[in-house]
Amino acid sequence: MDLAIDKGHKEVVQAILSSDKWLEAMKQAHLDLKDGMRVTPMRKLIRKMPDLAETVFQKCTTTNEYSPESAKFQITFNYELLDDQYTSWEYEEGLSRDNNSVYGGSAYGEDNKVLEDARPYSSYKSVIKKNHPLMIMVRSEREDLLAHPLTTSLLRHKWHTVGRYFYYSNLIVYLVYLIFISGFALTVPSPITVVTDDFDPKYSAKTVSDASVDDQLAFMEDNNLTLPTNTARRIQREIFVDFGIYVAIVIIGIRLVLEIFQLINAKLSYFGYENLLEWVLYVTSLLFVIPFSKNPHYREPWQWQTGTVAVFLAWMELILIIRKLPRFGIYVVMFTHILATFMQFFIVFFLFLIGFAISFYMLLSNQAPFKEVENSLLKTAIMMIGEFEFDSIFNEDGVVVYYPHAAYIIFVIFVVVMSIIIMNLLVGLAVDDIKGVQEQAVLTRMAMQVELALTVESMLPEYFTKKNIMRLLEVKPNRVSNNCSKKCCAGGAGAVVSGMSSIDLVTALNPELDDIEKVMEEQERLKTQLSKVNTRTKELLSQNERMETMLQALLTHNNIDFTDVDHADDDNLDLGAVFNR
């Protein structure tokens, strides 16, 4: 099977899949020496022969003898080839880089669930996720395979059994943390609002921005100032400060423990920008909420600045969490595509920006916005969005433009190039990116479902991961239970095909080809025939070359000098006489 797939012999693969030993042929695995990933025929078919991979999917999805309308109609999904992290089809030690990851024998019990002593083929969950057949479908853009009932049922099974409970529990806990950290930031007074500019020399701080908690308390005492005492503000302080500090510290502590747990499980693959962002978020949040003075209602200047970073990252982290949901994630994908395009264009954009900023600095350095180069750079960037302030630069009383001709020329060029051409170019690139995402919206949503299911599974402890994997799943889509408890217990299986009737499932398993698919199938048939003709032609050429070599050897052996000219001049050449000389 492996050799036929590698050589591109689809007829051989089809013959194997049509035999009674097809499942045995598919249950093979070996280690790719290039990247250390597990390689199976299923993964190869997804990459190289998706139409035959769909044939395997069809064989892994079976129905009983009842009609689709019958209440006894049953569909059986076999996930062994698709969800194979605990299966062990390799029997030689040292297959994996981790010697503890090889497990001999069947990984499933009689109940089709993973055995307690089964072990995954790799101890790195990031490797299992990256090499999962579902992720290979996403990277290979196999939309038809992702939409197959076998794939959709597996994703829904993973989501409805454990995934959704883990994901939404994590989301709720994070929302509680976000509410308290944001409420804390809005309740605790900022150092620059507690004190004023008329600082007394007796305070240790020399400016408002450096006012410590002791300076803030002393300033309020000297000026007979207090925090607002109305009922609403008092309750707000009790909830978000007095009580909120402990809630935030507990949640941050739990999240940091989970991060350490992920680090232990994922090892080197743990280090990525998302996990780095989470560490910065929770460390800065901890420094922000912990009181470093005798009064918990005030914060040091450095704590306040750290808190601004923490609150900003907290809301950015929420975006990263909800992006895994297909309903919202599509917009996050659009944003990331636009951001990636802008970063590619940024170098060109920045060169224009520097050129105009330095020019304005040279011509208008007598004005405050352009007095320093860095200020000129910032002012030029702001002017791009339309905030020109033409009158304040050129016509305001008391403002002198010493080089008016050059200043007007550079300003006009700036308006045309930066505000019209560059900005419209950026809009056009953004629209093009959005259009590209919308054209692949179905594939993008499927990819998000796969990413969500596998990400949640990779974060689960080993015990729950095993509970989430099954070899066979039997579903009766037409069965209706009147017992509420039975409905709840059967929810996992029923949810597997939620949104699809038995007729829809049968149609999906036996789809009718549309006109385009018929043309593509005919093209594939012609391509196969041409390939056969090409192979036969090569064989004939090879035979001709061998015959020519044999004839040449015979002529040489009999000392016969034979040329094409001789043959052309003598059409009645008696070969028998020639060879009898």
pLDDT at 510 over 80: no
**What's the pLDDT score for residue 403?**
92
pLDDT at 133 over 90: yes
β-bridge mates for residue 114, sequence order: 108
Question: Within 10 A of 262 (CB to CB), how many other CB atoms are there?
Answer: 17
Helices (H), 244-300: 244-266, 273-289
Whether residues 547 and 473 fall in one domain: no
- Model confidence pTM above 0.85: no
Query: b/e for 134-159, b at 16 or more Cβ within 10 A?
Result: bbbbbebebbebbebbbbbbbbbbbb
Task: Give a yes or no: residue 279 inside a domain.
Answer: yes
Residue-number span of the structural domain to which 237 is assigned: 162-328
Q: Which residue has the higher pLDDT, 251 or 527?
A: 251
pLDDT band for position 440 (cuts 50, 70, 90): confident
Tokens of 358: 């330095």
Where a domain ends, among 405, 439, 473? Answer: 439
pLDDT band for position 98 (cuts 50, 70, 90): very low
What is the full DSSP assignment across 348-405? HHHHHHHHHHHHHHHHHTTSGGGSSHHHHHHHHHHHTTT---HHHHHTSTT---SSHH
Tokens 């097809």 correspond to 22
Whether residues 135 and 194 fall in one domain: no
Whether residues 47 and 113 fall in one domain: yes
Give the pLDDT confidence of 361-377 residue by residue, as tens digits. Answer: 999 999 988 999 999 99
**What's the pLDDT score for residue 563?**
62
Element (H or E) spanning 70, and its range?
Answer: none
Average pLDDT over residues 502-514: 54
- Domain count across the chain: 4
Where a domain ends, among 417, 439, 461? Answer: 439
Average pLDDT over residues 155-179: 89
Where a domain ends, among 439, 467, 497? Answer: 439
Whether residues 244 and 373 fall in one domain: no
Q: What is the share, in percent, of the chain residues with pLDDT greater than 70?
A: 84
Give the pLDDT confidence of 17-74 residue by residue, as tens digits. Answer: 999 999 889 988 888 777 778 899 999 999 999 999 999 999 999 888 888 788 888 8
**What's the pLDDT score for residue 485?**
42
pLDDT band for position 484 (cuts 50, 70, 90): very low
Helix, strand, coil tally for the chain in percent (to 5): 65, 5, 30
Asked if residue 123 lies in contact with residue 143, where contact means CB atoms within 8 angstroms, the answer is no
pLDDT band for position 529 (cuts 50, 70, 90): confident
Tokens of 102: 């090889």
Tokens of 528: 């196969």
The Cα 85–Cα 471 span in angstroms is 11
Count of all residues that appear for the chain in the document = 581
Task: Give a yes or no: residue 156 inside a domain.
Answer: no
Instruction: Report the chain's mean pLDDT, rounded to a whole number.
Output: 82
Average pLDDT over residues 250-267: 85
Whether residues 126 and 42 fall in one domain: yes
With H, G, I as helix, E, B as strand and everything else as coil, classify residue 12: helix
Compute the radius of gyration of the chain from its Cα atoms: 36
**What's the pLDDT score for residue 91?**
44
Whether residues 244 and 348 fall in one domain: no
517: closest CA among 48, 35, 73, 51? 51
Whether residues 448 and 380 fall in one domain: no
Task: Give a yes or no: residue 157 inside a domain.
Answer: no
With H, G, I as helix, E, B as strand and everything else as coil, classify residue 94: coil
Whether residues 212 and 134 fall in one domain: no
Tokens 């090499």 correspond to 131
**What's the pLDDT score for residue 407?**
92
